[in-house]
Amino acid sequence: MFYNKKQQWEAMFRLQADANTSLAGPDWRTNPGQYDYLAALSDEVTECRLAAGYAPFWSGGAASQFDADNLKLEIVDVLHFLMSAFMQSIRGDESMFSVIDFAARVAEYNTAPVFRLAPSTFAATYGTVDHSIFHNFLGKVLTRNFDGAFQAFATMCWTANMEFRELYAKYLAKNALNIFRKSIGYKQDKSVKYWETNPDGSKVEDNYFVMSMVEDLLTEGVDEGGLTFKSMLRRIAVRYSQVTGNDFDWEHICSFSESLNDPDDLADDLLNEASSAPRAPSVHGDLVTSKS
């Protein structure tokens, strides 16, 4: 368990390295031509801007609707690629030591006002978000100024009204979800990410269920030390089973991550949750459906 931000950042860097090895391959750091995390970051920043109510001036269209929850999710995706790009930029046997040293510096940014003080009010209408924060971030990334990029990233989090505890929890959840997706065959069949179908035929992505689960954990006041990668992955597997009715194989899931070499030490009641817990009604906007 991790009780300070330096340790949490170290954990996130290590988890990201393990996830990249599992999802991309062992040469993800040495083959930037194939694994272009800078290009991925550019795409994700565009997604952030759209979630923040951006409309390209040349399109002549109306601004997209501000979506605070989606903006937070896109920022979490940005973090995956940002850490990956930084680790890809360093070489040599001392690389992990460089990452740990960098993690200590990043943790200091979390003590700055952008992470300590959430804005008291946050207008969610087009024109109130200063989109230059995204330009500033991308500029730092593309010039490989990673100290500056992580500081600019902190400003993006502040804009989305997302403090570090929420960022950390949602990062763990999305990282775990990526591993879980692979374990159930996402690479071969992208449709496995849709866990439920609404009465109108629209599909509900796993992101909805997982982020709702994280929101519940944060609301319940789960301590940061209790938010671990293993427990998050287990909870995702349980939630998947509850929603879809499909079983899961924990050992099989663990085989997809270097971070899961040891058996999980969660309580037995959580291990049995998939089969014993009632399946609650699903709520998606104005639509309410219930499993029979």
* pLDDT tens for the chain, residues 1 to 292: 444 777 888 888 888 988 898 888 889 988 988 999 999 999 999 999 888 887 776 766 666 678 888 999 999 999 999 999 999 988 654 455 677 677 777 776 554 433 333 333 343 333 457 788 899 999 999 999 998 899 889 888 888 888 888 999 999 999 999 999 999 999 888 899 999 999 999 999 999 999 999 999 988 877 655 678 888 999 999 999 999 999 989 889 988 877 654 333 333 333 333 334 333 333 333 322 223 2
283 and 155: one domain? Answer: no
Q: What is the pTM of this model?
A: 0.80
> CA nearest 17: which of 27, 32, 8?
27
pLDDT in tens, 126-173: 345 778 889 999 999 999 999 889 988 988 888 888 888 899 999 999
Same domain, 70 and 172: no
Tokens representing 90?
A: 């360093």
Which of 147, 162, 177 is at the close of a domain?
A: 162
255 and 277 inside one domain: yes
For residue 154, give the CATH number of its domain: 1.10.4010.10
Query: Are 275 and 247 in the same domain?
Result: yes
Alpha carbon distance, N-terminus to C-terminus of the chain: 38
Do 11 and 141 lie in one domain? The reply is yes
The structural domain count of the chain equals: 2
Packed helices 5-23 and 95-109: angle between N→C axes, nearest 10 degrees: 130
- Domain co-membership, 255 together with 186: yes
Burial class of residue 280 in the structure, from the number of CB atoms within 10 Å of its CB (0-12 exposed, 13-18 middle, 19+ buried): exposed
Among 140, 162, 184, residue at a domain's last position: 162
Boundaries of domain holding 83: 5-162
User: Can you give the pLDDT at residue 40?
Assistant: 95
Nearest to 23 by CA among 95, 70, 80, 86: 80
Same domain as 203, residue 158: no
Q: CB–CB of 16/175 below 8 Å?
A: yes
Is residue 16 domain-shared with residue 120, that is, in the same domain? Answer: yes
Domain boundary among 162, 185, 209: 162
- The reply to whether 103 and 206 lie within a common domain is no
Considering just the CA atoms, what is the radius of gyration of the chain in Å? Answer: 19
146 and 181, same structural domain? no
Q: Are residues 19 and 82 in the same domain?
A: yes
H or E element in which residue 153 lies = helix 146-159
**Residue 16 shares a structural domain with residue 148:** yes
Report residue 103 as tokens: 């993690």
